[in-house]
Amino acid sequence: MENIFIILLGLTMLYIASTSRLLGHINMLIAQGILLFLICIGGLAGEEWFNFGVFSNTQENLSHILGIAFIIIETLGVKSIIIPVFLKKVLNKTHTHRDSGANIPHFYALVISSLILFGGFMLANVHMSSFKLVSPLIFGVSISIIITSLWMITIKHTVLSNVISFITMENGIFLLSLAIAKEMPIIVNLGVLLDIFIAVFILGMLVLEIDDKFSDLEVSQLSDLKDYE
Q: What is the pLDDT along the chain (229 residues), one digit of tens a residue?
A: 788 999 999 999 999 988 888 899 999 999 999 999 898 887 655 554 445 444 445 665 666 677 677 778 878 888 899 888 888 887 887 777 777 667 788 888 899 999 999 999 888 877 655 556 667 888 889 999 999 999 998 888 777 888 888 889 888 888 887 777 655 555 555 556 666 665 666 666 666 555 555 555 455 555 555 544 4
Burial class (CB within 10 angstroms; exposed 0-12, middle 13-18, buried 19+) of 23: middle
| Ordered alpha helix ranges (H), the chain | 2-18, 22-46, 58-71, 83-94, 106-124, 136-155, 159-179, 186-213
Nearest 5°: the CA angle 172, 24, 160 is: 70
pTM, 2 dp: 0.78
CA-based nearest residue to 157, from 215, 103, 203:
103
CA 162 to chain CA mean position, Å: 12
Given this model, what pLDDT does residue 164 score? 87
Given this model, what pLDDT does residue 1 score? 75
49-58: long-range contacts, CB 8 A cutoff, minimum separation 24? none
